[in-house]
Amino acid sequence: MEKVLELEKVSVQFGGLIALDKVDMDVRRGEILSIIGPNGAGKTTLFNLLTGIYQPTSGKIIYKNRVINKLQPYKRVNLGIARTFQNTRLLKNMTVLENVLVAHSQCNGEGLLESVFSFGSVNRKRVAIVQECIEKLEVVGLAHKLDVFAGSLPYGEQRLLEIARALATGCEILLLDEPAAGMNSSEKVELIKKIRQLSNEFNIEIVLIEHDIGMIMDISDRIIVLNYGVKIAEGGAKEIQNDPNVISAYLGGEVDWD
Ligand SMILES: Nc1ncnc2c1ncn2[C@@H]1O[C@H](COP(=O)(O)OP(=O)(O)OP(=O)(O)O)[C@@H](O)[C@H]1O
Ligand SMILES: [Mg+2]
């Protein structure tokens, strides 16, 4: 399968701590790839690396045939890499729709003059952008809450709004850091459906960090396991469940995969 993004022997070091240790991995066209591992394994560091918040100490990140080790975060968003955060970063005093509009890839693209004079074409463009943002909100199931302040949404819906914001950037790779955190089991079932729908309807790759093993086994095309910054396993759900290294990395061998 076509590789969209590749990491070659990538390490990230913070002083004496090696958060990622010579990690080789790739993201393939159209897949749902999950990154799992115990607390402190390096999962969020990996996302920070992919989005340009951190740069590798060594190794290469290759995206669209280009080494992007030093590319700034906003340029990576323009290239199509978007994420959600482990702790949501919404604009809590703005409405649901405004949150998505602010994230939209073309929202800052109208020049000053155009904004002042509001020519017909600009208005049409605005209407189209608002429509696109509403479509993203429909996908995550929040289109009925356009005027609600983000800060007053229940936590699970705040996470869905983050996904809509990431989609509005026009992303090609969507990185989701623990999207099910704070959700109850029925919300998780809905989230799984929505992530599948995203994967099917949009032409995007989804990389997912999640602690809910049942959800991971259900949704993933492929799974990568990190432990202390090292990739210890990679494969489909069955392979991962039976991998002795994975079993011993989790709870000293007592894993509830359901
Ligand atoms: N900016 C930083 N400075 C120093 N150490 C850091 C920094 N960011 C992460 N680390 C360390 O790197 C290691 C990996 O952290 P990371 O947040 O990537 O883990 P994680 O797998 O996302 O864990 P969790 O499941 O708890 O979210 C940890 O030991 C963490 O303390
Ligand atoms: Mg994390």
- Name the burial class of residue 23, with classes exposed (0-12), middle (13-18) and buried (19+) by CB atoms within 10 angstroms of its CB: buried
Within the chain, strands assigned E span 3-14, 17-28, 32-36, 58-63, 66-67, 81-83, 173-177, 205-209, 222-227, 230-235
The ligand that comes nearest to the alpha carbon of residue 38 is 1
What is the distance in A from the centroid of ligand 2 to the CA of 116?
43
Averages of pLDDT over each 10 residues, the chain, 258 residues: 94 96 97 95 96 96 94 93 88 95 74 54 81 94 96 93 94 94 89 92 93 92 96 95 87 58
Distance CA(131)–CA(58), nearest Å, equals 43
What is the distance in A from the centroid of ligand 1 to the CA of 121?
47
What is the distance in A from the centroid of ligand 2 to the CA of 148?
29
Atom in ligand 1 nearest the alpha carbon of residue 226: 21
pTM: 0.90
Q: What is the pLDDT of residue 106?
A: 73
Q: What is the pLDDT of residue 88?
A: 80
Lining residues, ligand 1, CB within 6 Å: 14, 17, 19, 37, 39-45, 86
Q: What is the pLDDT of residue 248?
A: 86
DSSP state of 203: S
- Sequence-distant (6+) residues with CB within 8 A of 202 are 167
- Sequence-distant (6+) residues with CB within 8 A of 28 are 1, 2, 3, 4, 205, 222
Give me the helices (H) in 86-212, please: 96-103, 112-117, 120-140, 155-168, 185-201
Sign of the alpha-carbon dihedral angle for 81, 130, 128, 115: negative
**Going by CA atoms, what residue is nearest to atom 27 of ligand 1?**
39
- Sequence-distant (6+) residues with CB within 8 A of 155 are 88, 182, 183
Domains of the chain plus CATH, in order, are 1-80+171-258 (3.40.50.300), 91-168 (no CATH)
The ligand that comes nearest to the alpha carbon of residue 16 is 1
Atom in ligand 1 nearest the alpha carbon of residue 86: 27
Mutate to test the pocket of ligand 1, among 12, 17, 212 (most ligand atoms within 8 A of CB): 17
Mutate to test the pocket of ligand 1, among 10, 12, 14 (most ligand atoms within 8 A of CB): 14
The ligand that comes nearest to the alpha carbon of residue 85 is 2
Q: What is the pLDDT of residue 112?
A: 45
Q: What is the pLDDT of residue 87?
A: 83
What is the distance in A from the centroid of ligand 1 to the CA of 40?
5
